[in-house]
A and B are shown apart, each in its own frame.
Chain A
């Protein structure tokens, strides 16, 4: 059912956004730690594409293939604006911009889920 698929993808996206928020917070916290390289998570598109298609189970004897958990998102070293003398490559401004993006995308995601949920409720309540 495609609507359920939307909830699934929305949940994955919010999971990914939370992980990204965690990575950004880590960067900002270490803005003054010598030798710390800024990190970021892989883009959501890459995570979605790397996910292999699940094999259909048409017979009770088939074993359902479990999909890869989103927890396994690899963290990449991001290309930073500048590297300071101390070997630190965190730019607080850049991180705050990214945090703003994440916050906006999260609100949008939740808005979509809410709208879809309302649609489902409308048809369910009749």
Chain B
């Protein structure tokens, strides 16, 4: 079994990676919040969702976090009437993505907080290792 503090840092690193992946998905959603289809009556950009999983890392001997899958939100698209739009269907309705800016912002804040918490654990584990190494100094 390897050093628990080293494992701790690896777990925190996996957490940082997962949260930054989540931020990428959120950024994609926000950037595409107005992306309509290019063909008349076509489906616009569908909001992406990210799912985390609890995987066992055999090399590390501990449970780390992983990205299980990136899915799409099944919520219905927002429909607005705009006959002059290139993506308008026969009735003049345009489908807009099912992205809600407020939800994305809330998600972004949560990802931000979780990232900070993981970073804090990383710093603390490193400080603990350093305090043990410091026992060798100045004696």
- Set of chain B residues within 8 Å of A106, measured between Cβ atoms: 128, 131
- Contacting pair A29 B124 (CB below 8 A): no
Min CB distance, B51 to chain A, in Å? 8
Give the residue among B114, B121, B131, B132 with the most A Cβ atoms within 10 A.
B121
| Contact present for A26 and B63 (CB under 8 Å) | yes
Q: Tell me if A96 is interfacial: C-beta within 8 Å of chain B.
A: yes
On whether the beta carbons of B8 and A25 are closer than 8 Å, the reply is yes
Whether A71 contacts B1 in the complex (CB less than 8 A), given A21-B8, A22-B11, comes out as yes
Q: Which residues of B line the A interface, CB within 8 A?
A: 1, 3-5, 7-9, 11-12, 14-15, 18-19, 22, 51-54, 62-65, 110-111, 113-114, 117-118, 120-121, 124-125, 127-128, 131-132, 134-135, 139
Chain B residue contacts of A95, Cβ below 8 A:
117
Using known A-B contacts A18-B3, A110-B135, A113-B135, determine if residue A30 contacts B62 with beta carbons closer than 8 Å. no
Q: Does A24 sit within 8 A of B, measured CB to CB?
A: yes
Interface of A with B (CB < 8 Å)? 14-15, 17-19, 21-22, 24-26, 28-34, 36, 71, 92, 95-96, 99, 102-103, 106-107, 110, 113-114, 117-118, 121
The answer on a CB contact under 8 Å between A28 and B117 is: yes
A residues less than 8 Å from B117 (CB atoms): 28, 31, 92, 95-96
Which residues of chain B are within 8 angstroms of A21 by Cβ–Cβ distance? 4-5, 8, 121, 124-125, 128
Q: Using A33-B65, A103-B128 as known contacts, say yes or no to A25 and B52 having CB atoms under 8 A apart.
A: no
A16: nearest chain-B partner, CB-CB: B4
CA of A117 to CA of B9 in the docked complex: distance in angstroms? Answer: 28
The contact sample of 6 A-B pairs, CB cut-off 8 A, is A25-B15, A28-B12, A29-B118, A107-B131, A113-B135, A117-B139
